[in-house]
Structure 1
């Protein structure tokens, strides 16, 4: 079996301090390293569209919700787990790029609704398709059964640690 950098770290700890149980690093270390490699890959894919991960999240949240009337910025912020102030800056950037449009909320004189422009919908769809293709390439070394096992184990961790 091939070894990786985590194997070398765990082995070094076993030699340095045989009483220390560093076996948890075999999971957490690999999660962290894979997350870093994955984020760089996602960044590379989205850069071709002029998007950040945050921009992609907003565009595809709007696309997934599919509300023709538009979505409230506060609802988008909640779905992204960010503050409304951070959402405002994202929306400003996306509006300047003509990927979204903000219009007055007819139900709330002080509010606005956010909608994708046709260009925004097109960019969001293309970016999503490319990202899914990159996901497949990233996961290519794993069999379907391995993917299912990992997904199930990670679900257990998230259910245990996710708020609410």
Structure 2
């Protein structure tokens, strides 16, 4: 696709206008990547808002979901050490301590000593924490599924594979700690 065209389907969007403008302002600049990455950037902002809304409907902020989701994914008994939570959520230990305190105040998690070594602290989901994170992730997946319905049959699988291929370039590199991964 060149800067003078819309999509192969004949539809154009605001990204096409932006790419065309850059092409006109800097002739000879290969603007082809902008067709993909400008759309990815715009879509990421919409997805971020969608996640924020899904979590808010269950009384959770993004950071709260991040911690609760890490505990929930750990499996029964849904507990991790604060150090493991730091690794899972990519925040500092001081930030995690604050987050655990605030979640404990809301009754979403409890701290307890490890039965094998009382010096080790474990953070465990409460029933209220489990209900909140389960509700939020269920709502999130429904919203994500609705967004994927705009794709043709098999398109979600194809897109997932293309994105997996692109992300493989960064394998082993921590992602920025801005948004939680469900």
**Structure-2-length-normalised TM-score:** 0.83
The answer to whether the 8 Å contact 2:69/2:133 transfers is yes
Return structure 1 stretches of 4+ with deviation > 6 angstroms.
Answer: none
> 1:69, CA displacement in angstroms?
7.3
Q: Which of 158, 161, 167 is equivalent to 1:158?
A: 167
Q: Is 1:146 aligned to 2:155, yes or no?
A: yes
Q: Which of 16, 24, 36 is equivalent to 2:33?
A: 24
C-alpha spacing 1:25/1:69, structure 2 compared with 1 (3 Å): closer
Gaps of 5+ in 1: none
Could you tell me how far apart the structure 2 residues matched to 1:104 and 1:2 are? Answer: 60
Could you tell me how far apart the structure 1 residues matched to 2:153 and 2:96 are? Answer: 37
Q: Which residue of 1 aligns with 2:49?
A: 40
**Structure-1-length-normalised TM-score:** 0.91
C-alpha spacing 1:97/1:11, structure 2 compared with 1 (3 Å): same
The answer to whether the 8 Å contact 1:69/1:113 transfers is no
Could you tell me how far apart the structure 2 residues matched to 1:15 and 1:162 are? Answer: 37
Could you tell me how far apart the structure 1 residues matched to 2:96 and 2:81 are? Answer: 11
Q: How does 1:103-142 map to 2 (within 5 A)?
A: 103-142=112-151
Gaps of 5+ in 2: 1-9, 174-182
Q: Which has the higher helix share?
A: 1
Could you tell me how far apart the structure 1 residues matched to 2:18 and 2:96 are? Answer: 40
Could you tell me how far apart the structure 2 residues matched to 1:22 and 1:44 are? Answer: 34
Alignment length, in residue pairs? 164
> 1:114, CA displacement in angstroms?
0.6
Q: Is 1:4 aligned to 2:4, yes or no?
A: no
Q: Deviations over 1:44-80 (max 9, x none)?
A: 1111122112211211211111242721011111112
Q: Deviations over 1:24-58 (max 9, x none)?
A: 11111111110001101111111112211221121
